[in-house]
């Protein structure tokens, strides 16, 4: 692991010049922290640096910490191990709801997008003024209002999903994407399915889009209410891009109208909160049955 804390933008420029001619194997994870007084404290700096080392020291990634708001992580190879390191980093620092995990980019495809984002990060960094205080002990909100401009807006690519279809069909264990920002619900689902399925978790709609396109999961458990969007809109996006999706909605809103709306956008099931482990097991059995039926039909028609 390489970590640039001081003069990180200068080190980042040198690194990008080195890989610019051969970006094909490189990927980028970007993390942004929401504006908060704690960001400007020595306590945060020490805790964040310690957690970065603890979470990523066994990896070959390059980390550029554009303090205090942005962390950029460049790596080669499979994405999943690095994603697990990011999850561990958030656990160590307890930044649930405080930090946001933005995206994983293939630099061979999104090099220009990345350069644009870094240019905006650099502008925010150069233009930033020290936080001012309103007289009641809290900083005014002006310090990082422009951070949202640096986020990445992603759309699901039908071509990318089509390319990934062979990965999905040759998995030894089905992969589940859990889109849920509540830690308790995440843990409940993971405990219920960890023995028979591989699972990855996303906490925001943006992260879910990145994960879906990256891994093409076999099944998605999707919460309707997400911090940065509506799960039904995300369901619609996935349905349009992937004709072979399998999505089960999770929600505390169990009105008949909501269920019908989700079914209209292609949801294969609906589980109301709070739910029991048995409800999850039933949904998984239904998924297995549907998958087996599809495999038989494909074999009969000679499509495999």
Q: What is the pLDDT of residue 277?
A: 82
DSSP state of 131: P
Q: What is the pLDDT of residue 202?
A: 87
By three-state DSSP, how is residue 45 classified?
A: helix
Domain range summary for the chain, segments of one domain joined by +:
2-150, 159-300
Q: CA-CA distance, 193 to 155, in Å (whole number)?
A: 29
C-beta of residue 236 within 8 angstroms of C-beta of residue 205: no
Q: What is the pLDDT of residue 99?
A: 54
C-beta of residue 71 within 8 angstroms of C-beta of residue 109: no
pLDDT along the chain (304 residues), means of 10: 91 92 85 70 82 91 86 87 84 60 75 83 65 34 37 68 86 91 82 83 84 90 87 92 94 80 92 84 91 59 46
Fold (topology level) of 2-150: Alpha-Beta Plaits (3.30.70)
This prediction's pTM: 0.56
Q: What is the pLDDT of residue 218?
A: 95
Asked if the bond preceding 274 is cis, omega within 30° of 0, the reply is: yes
Q: What is the pLDDT of residue 95?
A: 58
Direct distance between the N- and C-terminal alpha carbons of the chain, in angstroms, rounded to an integer = 42
Q: What is the pLDDT of residue 14?
A: 93
Per DSSP, which regions of the chain are E strands? 2-4, 26-33, 62-66, 70-76, 99-106, 175-179, 198-202, 219-223, 225-226, 229-230, 247-251, 269-272
Q: What is the pLDDT of residue 35?
A: 63
Torsional sign, CA 287, 290, 293, 295: negative
Q: Which pairs from 84-87 meet CB under 8 Å and 24+ separation? A: 85/55, 85/56, 85/59, 85/61, 86/29, 86/31, 86/55, 87/201
Domain 159-300 has CATH 3.20.20.10: no
């Amino acid at each position: 692991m390489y970590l640039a804390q001081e003069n990180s933008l200068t080190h980042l420029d040198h690194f990008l010049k080195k890989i610019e001619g051969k970006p094909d194997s490189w990927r980028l994870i970007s993390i942004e922290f929401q504006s908060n007084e704690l960001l400007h404290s020595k306590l945060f700096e020490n805790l964040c640096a310690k957690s970065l080392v603890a979470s990523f020291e066994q990896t070959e990634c390059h980390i550029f910490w554009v303090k205090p708001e942005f962390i950029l992580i460049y790596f080669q190879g499979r994405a999943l191990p690095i994603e697990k390191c990011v999850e561990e980093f958030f656990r160590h620092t307890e930044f649930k709801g405080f930090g946001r995990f933005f995206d994983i980019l293939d630099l061979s495809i999104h090099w220009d997008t990345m350069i644009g984002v870094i240019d905006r990060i650099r502008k925010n960094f150069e233009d930033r003024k020290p936080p001012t205080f309103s007289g009641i002990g809290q900083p005014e909100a002006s310090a990082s209002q422009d951070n949202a401009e640096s986020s990445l807006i992603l759309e699901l690519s039908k071509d990318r999903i089509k390319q990934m279809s062979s990965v999905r069909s040759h998995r030894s264990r089905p992969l589940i994407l859990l889109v849920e920002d509540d830690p308790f619900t995440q843990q409940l689902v993971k405990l219920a399915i960890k023995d028979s399925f591989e699972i990855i978790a996303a906490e925001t709609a943006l992260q879910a889009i990145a994960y879906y396109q990256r891994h093409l999961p076999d099944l998605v458990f999707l919460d309707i209410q997400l911090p940065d969007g509506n799960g039904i809109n995300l369901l619609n996006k996935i349905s349009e891009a992937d004709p072979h999706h399998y999505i089960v909605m999770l929600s505390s809103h169990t009105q008949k109208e909501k269920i019908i709306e989700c079914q209209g956008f292609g949801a294969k099931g609906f589980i109301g909160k709070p739910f029991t482990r048995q409800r999850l097991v039933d949904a998984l059995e239904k998924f297995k049955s549907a998958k087996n039926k599809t495999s038989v039909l494909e074999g009969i028609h000679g499509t495999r």
